[in-house]
């Protein structure tokens, strides 16, 4: 039986690992090293599904990790993660999702009469050229 201290440490280690799964480059790293083919590791990923429970999910800072954890339950997805192209695609899609979510959340939280902020990342207009 584990002590309270051992339970706390295991919780922290598993929390950190699950959140690493929000990074497609880390998943690609695991796939390249062959971890996603090893049955003990696949069993560990299955065990980590308990993080989907709201009691545990509330501790996650990067909830997208749950989506990738779910995808990692499928052999076809694990096989495709070796490809750098697939990794790049997942990374691009994650960034697009975060950008859209951030903009949408900002608009949702603004009072209705607040001015609309300029689009994130939009370059400022250059000053007009003077003709000589």
Where are the chain's structural domains?
A: 4-109
CA nearest neighbour of 20 among 32, 100, 28: 28
Residue 12 dihedral angles phi and psi, to the nearest 5°? -65, -40
pLDDT of residue 126: 42
pLDDT of residue 105: 63
- Each residue's pLDDT, cut to its tens digit, for the chain (132 residues) gives 888 899 999 999 999 999 999 999 999 999 999 999 999 999 999 999 999 999 999 999 988 899 999 999 999 999 999 988 988 888 887 777 777 766 666 666 667 676 655 554 544 444 455 554
CATH number, span 4-109? 1.10.10.1340
């Amino acid at each position: 039986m584990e002590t309270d201290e051992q339970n706390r440490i295991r919780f922290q280690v598993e929390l950190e690992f699950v959140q690493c799964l929000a990074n497609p480059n880390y998943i690609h790293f695991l796939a390249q090293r062959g971890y996603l083919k090893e049955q003990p590791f696949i069993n560990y990923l299955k065990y980590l599904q308990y993080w989907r429970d709201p009691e545990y999910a509330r501790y996650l800072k990067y909830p997208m990790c749950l989506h990738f954890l779910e995808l990692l339950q499928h052999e076809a997805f694990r096989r495709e993660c070796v490809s750098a192209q697939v990794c790049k695609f997942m990374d691009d899609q994650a960034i697009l999702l975060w950008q859209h979510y951030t903009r949408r959340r900002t608009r949702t939280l603004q009072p209705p009469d607040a001015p609309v902020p300029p689009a994130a990342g939009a370059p400022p207009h250059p000053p007009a050229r003077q003709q000589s």
